[in-house]
Amino acid sequence: MTATQRTSIVVGAGLAGLTAAYRLQQAGWDVKVLERGPVVGGRVQTITKGGYLIDTGAGALFEGFGDYMQLASELSLGDDLVVSSNTVATVRSGVLHHLDVTRPIRSGATTRLISLRSKLLAFRLAYDIARLRRVLDYNDLSRAAAHDTESAGEYCRRRLNAELDAYVCEPMLRGLVLTTSDNVSKLEFLSGLSNLFNGRLHNLRGGLNRFPQALAGRLDVRLGSEASGIVDEGDGVRVTWTSEGRESTERCDGCVVAVPLHTAAALCRGQASVLDPLNRVLTYSKGLVVHLGLREAPPTPASVVQIPQSESATIALLLLDHNKAPDRAPGGHGLISALWDQDEGSRVGHLSDDAIVKLTVAEVEKIFPGTDAVLDMTHVSRWDEVVPFTRPGSFKAQRAFKEAVDRSAPIQFAGDFLSTGGQNTAVHYGNLAARNLSGHAARTSVTS
């Protein structure tokens, strides 16, 4: 480190924190990343088990993930981005109805998932998305905060009909945030649908965790280091953390806080006036995911199977990982990741893995009979926090936070709690936090 080199500490080694650290390092900063856990990547994790490659957290990429795709290219991962099956299926009365997300009009017109009347009413939905497209920014849905006035279910039943709510809106939202349409803002639905039908689905050969691993390999990351306090001292930031039972304190020129919202609020009490109002509104959904390796792949080209609550109150979504990327399962085999409904997952969370697998297989059998007979491998992933739970009013609170937070301050925040949850959102706000901090440094250099 040179005598004039700026120093920064980044708290959190998920995608947002690693991106911010990488961008700051590119800008000439000396950067240290503190991560309380034993691995990098946050909710983007990949493991191998029994010949299967399992993404235990985040599971898919959309072509519209511009920030993610750009950084992947910089990390020499661009050639390893593979196109997934672009078929999404929705279950109705036990039957799979397939849609090609790259051809939404043709698929929507010919599907038997919904009635002709619902198809005609869907033009209202297309109109509403087009009307809001200017502010319906997946990376910053707070731009549309003025329209955050009702739940997705209320919107569908008012503007469309109950059938579209039951077989379009709710299944998609159960897949995104693991809960029903009455619990989620309509903006989550409108942006999610726009994003889904905005190009091809992708995945990363070798597992999605390769992305944070590639970032971490270029950085100074301190695992097992838990921050306990972050204080803006005017001419710098004081960060206190504990590692291997020993407490350390260090002053730096700037700090990026890239942890879940409630953790950020506990660490940065000097910023309580801007963090606490958002923290009271925005919580995180819990996740229970059961991964099933199968000796025979299920007979569908779909990479995603959406499940209305009327079909299963238990399972919200199935990811057919072998259709996402060919390396996820041995040749001819299948790999299903079954995401539980948040409420049902919380209800059975105390059960053993074996008991949860048994319950899951019974539900999957309703969609793919014979699953139990070809079961080859099982794994259970439990997540205390999956994605921000965007209830009606959440995006208004995000807007108020962004208007109140000081973008010129030496403490910057990054994470998917600043919009709707996702890998691209994390990368986007990691980029933004680094730019804001670099701007702060430039201003203080001029005035010093």
Average the pLDDT over 386-411 and give the result: 92
Instruction: Give the percent of the chain with pLDDT over 90.
Output: 83
Is the pLDDT at 199 greater than 80, yes or no? no
Distance CA 332, CA 364 (A): 19
**How many Cβ atoms are within 10 Å of 154's Cβ, its own excluded?**
15
Question: To the nearest 10°, the Cα dihedral for 181, 186, 187, 193?
Answer: 60
Higher pLDDT among residues 112 and 1, named by residue: 112
Question: For 160-260, where are the alpha helices, taking DSSP H only?
Answer: 162-164, 170-177, 186-196, 210-216
Distance CA 79, CA 260 (A): 31
The 10s digit of each residue's pLDDT in 43-82 is 999 999 999 999 999 888 888 889 999 999 999 999 999 9
Q: What is the pLDDT of residue 440?
A: 75
Looking at 94-108, 193-207, 208-222, which range is the least confident one?
A: 193-207
**How many Cβ atoms are within 10 Å of 318's Cβ, its own excluded?**
27
Residues with Cβ within 8 Å of 84's Cβ and at least 6 positions away in sequence, in order, are 60, 200, 201, 202, 203, 303, 323, 324, 325
Q: Indicate the SS3 state at residue 11.
A: strand
pLDDT band per the 50, 70, 90 thresholds, residue 108: confident
Residues with Cβ within 8 Å of 62's Cβ and at least 6 positions away in sequence, in order, are 195, 196, 198, 199, 201, 202, 424
Instruction: Give the percent of the chain with pLDDT over 70.
Output: 97
Distance CA 181, CA 358 (A): 27
CA angle, corner 53, sides to 48 and 57, nearest 5? Answer: 95
**Domain positions in the chain:** 7-45+208-283+396-447, 48-63+82-204+284-383
Q: Assign residue 199 a region: left if phi > 0, alpha if psi is -120 to 50, beta otherwise?
A: left
Q: Which CATH architecture has domain 48-63+82-204+284-383?
A: Alpha-Beta Complex (3.90)
Q: Which tokens is 25 given?
A: 């390092």
Q: Indicate the SS3 state at residue 64.
A: coil
Q: What is the pLDDT of residue 448?
A: 43
Query: How far lies 45's CA from each of 78, 161, 342, 387, in Å?
Result: 19, 38, 20, 14
Distance CA 174, CA 448 (A): 52
Residue that is written with structure tokens 């949850």 in the block: 421
Is the pLDDT at 105 greater than 90, yes or no? no
Q: Indicate the SS3 state at residue 125.
A: helix
Distance CA 375, CA 370 (A): 9
Residues with Cβ within 8 Å of 145's Cβ and at least 6 positions away in sequence, in order, are 395, 396, 398, 399
Query: How far lies 91's CA from each of 107, 168, 257, in Å?
Result: 15, 10, 41
Distance between alpha carbon 368 and the CA centroid of its chain, in Å? 27
DSSP letter assigned to residue 391 = -
Pick the CATH number of 7-45+208-283+396-447 from 3.40.50.410, 3.50.50.60, 2.40.128.20, 2.60.260.20: 3.50.50.60
Average the pLDDT over 217-227 and give the result: 98
Given a contact cutoff of 8 angstroms between Cβ atoms, the answer to whether 6 and 30 are in contact is yes
Looking at 190-194, 236-240, 275-279, 347-351, which range is the least confident one?
A: 190-194
Among 184, 205, 171, smallest CA distance to 317 is for 171
Residue that is written with structure tokens 């998609």 in the block: 172
Residue that is written with structure tokens 């990351």 in the block: 221
Q: Alpha-carbon torsion 166, 168, 173, 175, what sign?
A: positive
Given a contact cutoff of 8 angstroms between Cβ atoms, the answer to whether 243 and 224 are in contact is yes
Looking at 25-34, 241-250, 366-375, 380-389, which range is the least confident one?
A: 380-389
Q: Is the pTM of this model over 0.75?
A: yes
Q: Which tokens is 384 given?
A: 């205390």
